[in-house]
A and B are shown apart, each in its own frame.
Chain A
């Protein structure tokens, strides 16, 4: 079985390195093919592992020692248990699809090979992240995916910086750096968490840590919990570290699909799920997580309402869905969080890939106000995105319905009705903005004509590649029970109370109602043609939303600029004017003293003789002084 683990893990790496060999060459088709194949291999391995875990049980493999110092011994250890198996399968599946898709999407890009190298490298890091059996291993993947996302967001590095008004995420390279640095901020928290674990437990291995949790003081647990969660907030772009995700849409669309929807951003959720023995010990932190998640859910959704940028809308929806997942995890319904994570991975990836098709058709136009009526030319894409949106909106019987609905039930079950209400509301908003997108893109009047676009459907094999996702977006939810049965072997089973059991049907209906309501509103407003209301668009709330609550600008004004200015002061004022000036000052003083003393060397003998006499006198005085003291 270990071999399977290694195959699953290293196949992408091999692919990446292979592609890297040709990284600087112009497009060579087979790099794409090879990497895709290797990804598929990895997927198969993961699937087999999933089966193995299902039938036999967890697999553990240890490659070699990594860091050995003092009492610290961190090996490259991997463990494949229920959660990991699920994550692996999801990740590899989506990645495979994205890889195949990219063959078509990046067809004409001169960075073709480079792209695949990065993409596979990302998958490798992601697998390290989910498979590692200790926190430092996790951290490797954590940073690894960070770098890959940096590379991929900044994939079109040659684009120049432009003003926020032209492009809210100034330039790919800018967005890339923003993402990396924001993640670094969170990583510091995570690192501190790791230190705490090491010095309190003496090991970074999950099992040993979880075993030691009962012995640790509650305060310490809280601290560790918070620190780890800070790390999670960065990766999963939770408020206030969320701005980078929307800007990350500068990357090629497959990247957005894979990294910024399906996999990387869910790493934070994975961490919380993984560390459930810790978080179930510290309800207050968990509750905070839930609340924050809920807030992010609606906060992001609200921004999605008014945005005109195809990808950004989806990005915000991702953010909002991540909020759902955290809410679930925070409420202790870990398996539900994981379930939603998987489901979301499928339909959100599908949604993005569909968006990719649209962009392709509209040669990289993103403004949905300039689209419309694409249904005619892009039937398949329309179907896919429709399905995905239905799933996202949580309409029965699509995948989203099952997962999201369970989260709402859980919220209700915890008697945290506030959370429930907000999430419920969000469900409505979600339905609205996702269908606003769909309608404005595919239905309504064909606005693109006046901009002179000539849209066309993408290659067949690309469409076929998307099929598995489409299928899963529909049927994945139907396996809810099995899924629960499987993962709750590891995760705590979440029991609904009697009360909830009774209420469940009402809840479902209510939820469905608001979801469908949202769709209907969207239909009325946008299905026929784009209705724009100047007054509303000028109104303050609208502008606040469209400017993302002015948070990016605030960050720029409050942190980026002052830091730059402060640095300049530190250099010009302090380092040169104070520190270095002092050093040179001392030198100057010495030199000037020399010049001064030199004057006694008048060259006039008589002065010299005077000095001698004076010297005698000085000595006399000196002698007296000393004699007095002794």
Chain B
């Protein structure tokens, strides 16, 4: 016989929900506006979304650290705040990319923006909870929204991409819930902190390790799928190619950050308990991912696809840090993604600027290398900026990503995984080749027919975004210090 439940408003601590409430409200608002008055210009929705995200940003900043709320399913610790901020920044940089000079019809639907905001909310839920249920819901909300957004790009590619992503996502979801079920079966709890407590007790039991690791394994598949670790990454290049460049750029960051946080919470728990099997699973996955995807990136003909593989490899790179289980390692993850965000989004935006309605230099690819050859002669500034992004991705100092790499590798070294650090180093060297390849095309090859139309899709907002990204990428060295200290604080207060 169940007891009736009494809940006091105070104990709900609804403030913890405020960011999500804001953004969901915003999404609804957009839909309502659309209901009231049809076909308003997209710029309105863009600006509205930015404002909403901005408010959300403020709300997130105002959150107190290490609070729980809403039946204690919400967990507002440093990590969740940091990750939410990252997600919001990325989103704010993403939205303006809708304001292109060419017309891409997905942006003319207000639903696009509504969905986008729902997706962001979903990601925020993912990172702001340690309750498996909520994580799952957030994950699915975000994913479903994302599938739709991809599909809305409405090219043959985009549909195929969406369906691939969707199906694999469904499978991943299956794995996730099954893993959750195993954990639940072992501990009778769905809150990770409870689960942790019970594990502490039951670790000693004989034969426990099989279900223990089995559960981790199932969850790992789901995580691996989302952060695209080999061999669960296969959707990534296709989906990136199928979807619009900004969407691809967005996907290379936000979902991964969100899932990284979930991974930190779940796998981190295992690693923390010293389950070597899990630690090694992560390391091996990471190494395989960064190495093989690097090599696959070498042989791509399309820049976007190359960037897809490269972002896989970056994910693997960061994933390795997860296995180290040190504050520095966890901090490095956020630092890395913080820097990666600007560079990568910038790079994808450059592709977006160069986007035309139909592939110009290749029957299938929109952004084959050849398209950029001799860019330095026709659009020097564009070439230089793109080069800066590429060098940053390569990890050439003083550009932003170097500092990220530096910190990750340093964390690895501290944890005593010298060999891993070396592998990371060599991988960056391999990666250098395909980033250079683009630079070589832009700077060292003669111009091709139609390279002057590189700015086909150019528009002020896009240029501004690129400008911000480039500026950040070049001058990052000066903001590393504050960023680092902030992140270190946030991560350490969350007890990682």
Contacts and interface: CB of A to CB of B under 8 A. Distances in A.
Q: Do chains A and B touch in the complex (CB under 8 A)?
A: yes
Interface of A: 590-591, 593-595, 597-598, 600-601, 603, 605, 607-609, 611-612, 614-616, 618-620, 622-623, 626-627, 629-630
Interface string B215-243: 01110110011000011101101100000
Contacts of A627: 209, 213, 276-277
Contacts of A598: 296, 299
A590 B295 contact: yes
A605 B163 contact: yes
B420 interface: no
Contacts of A600: 231, 234
Interface stretch (B49-57, B167-175, B186-194): B167-175
A622 B284 contact: yes
Most buried by A among B168, B234, B281, B298: B234
Contacts of A614: 231
A626 B275 CA distance: 10
A432 B234 CA distance: 97
List 9 tightest A-B contacts by C-beta distance, closest first: A594-B295, A608-B234, A615-B231, A626-B277, A623-B277, A594-B298, A630-B276, A594-B299, A626-B280
B484 to A, nearest CB: 33
B296 A597 contact: yes
Nearest to B209: A627
A28 B167 CA distance: 96
A609 B295 contact: no
A516 B224 CA distance: 107
Given A612-B171, A619-B281, A591 B232 contact: no
Contact of A612 (B217, B221, B297): B221
A594 B297 contact: yes
Q: Is chain A's interface secondary structure helix, strand, loop, or mixed overall? A: helix
Interface of B: 163-164, 167-168, 171-172, 175, 209, 213-214, 216-218, 220-221, 224-225, 230-232, 234-235, 237-238, 276-278, 280-281, 284-285, 292, 294-299, 430
B167 A595 contact: no
Given A590-B298, A591-B299, A619 B217 contact: yes
Contacts of B168: 605, 608-609, 612
Contacts of B232: 611-612, 615
Contacts of B296: 594, 597-598, 601
Contact of B224 (A615, A622, A626): A615
Q: Is chain B's interface secondary structure helix, strand, loop, or mixed overall? A: helix
Contacts of B217: 616, 619-620, 623
B298 A616 contact: no
B280 A605 contact: no
B237 A612 contact: no
Given A590-B295, A623-B216, 13 more contacts: A590-B430, A594-B299, A605-B163, A608-B235, A609-B167, A609-B171, A611-B231, A612-B234, A615-B224, A620-B217, A623-B278, A626-B280, A630-B277
Contacts of B225: 612
B298 A605 contact: no
Contacts of A593: 292, 295
Contacts of A623: 213, 216-217, 277-278, 281
Nearest to A620: B217
Nearest to B164: A605
B323 to A, nearest CB: 12
Given A597-B295, A603-B238, A612-B232, A626 B221 contact: no
Most buried by B among A603, A607, A626: A626
10 contacts: A594-B295, A601-B296, A603-B238, A612-B232, A616-B218, A619-B217, A619-B221, A620-B217, A623-B281, A627-B276
Given A597-B292, A605-B164, A619-B221, A591 B298 contact: yes
Most buried by A among B216, B238, B292, B299: B299
Nearest to A603: B238
A591 B216 CA distance: 34
Contacts of B299: 591, 594-595, 598
A612 to B, nearest CB: 5
A615 B284 CA distance: 12
A589 to B, nearest CB: 9
Contacts of A615: 221, 224, 230-232
B289 to A, nearest CB: 11
Given A611-B234, A623-B277, A626-B280, A591 B295 contact: yes
Contacts of A607: 234
Nearest to B175: A616
A601 B218 CA distance: 23
B276 A626 contact: yes
Contacts of B230: 615
Contacts of A612: 168, 171-172, 221, 225, 231-232, 234
Contacts of A616: 175, 217-218, 221
B284 to A, nearest CB: 6
Nearest to A627: B277
Contacts of A618: 231
Nearest to B238: A603
Contacts of B171: 609, 612
Given A590-B295, A615-B224, A627-B213, A605 B231 contact: no
B460 to A, nearest CB: 37
Most buried by B among A616, A619, A627, A630: A619
Contacts of A611: 231-232, 234
Nearest to A611: B231
Contacts of A590: 295, 298, 430
Contacts of B280: 622, 626
Contact of B164 (A591, A594, A608, A620): A608
A600 B293 CA distance: 11
Contacts of A629: 276
Contacts of B216: 623
Nearest to A615: B231
Contacts of B218: 616
A590 B433 CA distance: 11
Contacts of B292: 593-594, 597
A616 to B, nearest CB: 5
A526 B465 CA distance: 103
Contacts of B235: 608
A395 B256 CA distance: 106
Contacts of A597: 292, 295-296
Contacts of A603: 238
Contacts of A630: 276-277
A402 B224 CA distance: 102
A472 to B, nearest CB: 73
A609 B166 CA distance: 12
Nearest to A605: B164
A628 B93 CA distance: 48
B50 to A, nearest CB: 36
A399 B235 CA distance: 103
Given A590-B430, A612-B221, A616-B175, A601 B281 contact: no
B311 to A, nearest CB: 15
A18 B197 CA distance: 97
Contacts of A608: 164, 168, 234-235
B196 to A, nearest CB: 20
Nearest to A589: B295
Nearest to A618: B231
Contacts of B237: 601
A597 B294 CA distance: 10
Given A608-B164, A608-B234, A609-B168, A619 B220 contact: yes
Contacts of B295: 590-591, 593-594, 597
A503 B47 CA distance: 124
Contacts of A605: 163-164, 167-168
A590 B284 CA distance: 19
A625 to B, nearest CB: 9
